[in-house]
Amino acid sequence: MNRELGGRWLPGAGTGFALTLLLAIIAGGTAGYVVIEGWTVWDAFYMTVTTVTTVGFREVHQLSLAGQAFTVILILGGVGTAFYTATLVATVIVEGGLHRRFQQRRFARMLEQLDNHFIICGYGRIGAIIAEELDRQGVPFIVIERDPARSHAVIERGWLGVAADASQEEVLRRVGIDRARGLIAAVGTDAENVYTVLTARVMRPDLFIIARIESDDAERRLKRAGADRVISPYHIGATHMAQTALRPAVVDFVQLATSSAHLDLSMEQVHVDDGSALVGRTILEAGIRQKFGVIVIAIKRADGAMEFNPPSEAMVRAGDELVVLGQPQSVKALEDTVAI
């Protein structure tokens, strides 16, 4: 019988039982020749193996009548078991059971190595786009999808995916929620998103959580459940279309600055830690524009206040988020300096 574990096929108890029975017959045959014929353990073992496998080169020593009778019994009981075991093992290998078992172990090791990653809950149209964007930017992530067919599609893309319910604590623990950078709830219904967000928030009070909503009245429930950001794809899509109609050049610029497809320009947020060299200095004193060639578009203060187009004398404080625009290598250099 076969069984499934975590969406993976594994050899069932039949193969293990056959192997155990074959080993028992070999051990019994070895002991039998030692007792009946008085042979050494090695001679008895060699005679048993050649008999059970029907190789039959020769008799190790001349057999007595009792030894011949024992050999007949060993042939009748052992040959069939040997062929049965060989058939089961061959079936496991041909059907890919062994290969899938190695894949499962490899998958388990990859899960253990996941760190500072995003957990995407749901692989519908929204989840698929999110996964593609994270993949383009080289950000580690794993997808939790209840539908096995969609989960298989994730794996076919070469990504990490689990066919499970994202609202279950065991599942979130398995995908490394304790080491995750954030969670994106984009499952099919608002109710499922609420349960997923609530479970994640209880397990990780400090986790950054983004939730998708279908209806406007679900926003309040999701925020109460613990979502840091609640996003309506329909509202964002409609707003984007309106802005495109009114200010197409502005929209084109924002897309250029935020799209990973344009590697010559990058808009990023840079977190300022307590021990950063920028703390307590103005933008001008820090020389962000002169040293790194990036433009500070905005500063999000630790209390949540947002300062757009800050003046050169604006002070950089610990806990600030600098929204900067520049070439990717310049932004990376600034991030490395801030982290010092």
Is 4 within 8 Å of 10 (Cβ atoms)?
yes
- Residues of each domain in the chain carrying CATH 1.10.287.70: 3-97
What is the per-residue pLDDT across 56-67, written as a single tens digit (0 to 9) for each? 666 778 888 888
Is 3.90.320.10 the CATH classification of the domain at 3-97?
no
What is the pTM assigned to this prediction?
0.60
Domain 262-339 has what CATH class?
alpha beta
pLDDT of residue 263: 54
What is the per-residue pLDDT across 41-51, written as a single tens digit (0 to 9) for each? 998 898 888 88
Domain 114-236 has what CATH class?
alpha beta
Strand, helix or coil for residue 320: coil
Would you place residue 99 in the very low, low, confident or very high pLDDT band (cuts 50, 70, 90)? low
What is the per-residue pLDDT across 292-317, written as a single tens digit (0 to 9) for each? 888 898 999 988 889 988 998 999 99
- Residues of each domain in the chain carrying CATH 3.40.50.720: 114-236
Greatest extent of the chain over all pairs of C-alpha atoms, in Å: 106
Strand, helix or coil for residue 211: strand
Strands 182-185 and 208-212: parallel
101: left (phi over 0), alpha (psi -120 to 50) or beta: alpha
- Residues of each domain in the chain carrying CATH 3.30.70.1450: 262-339
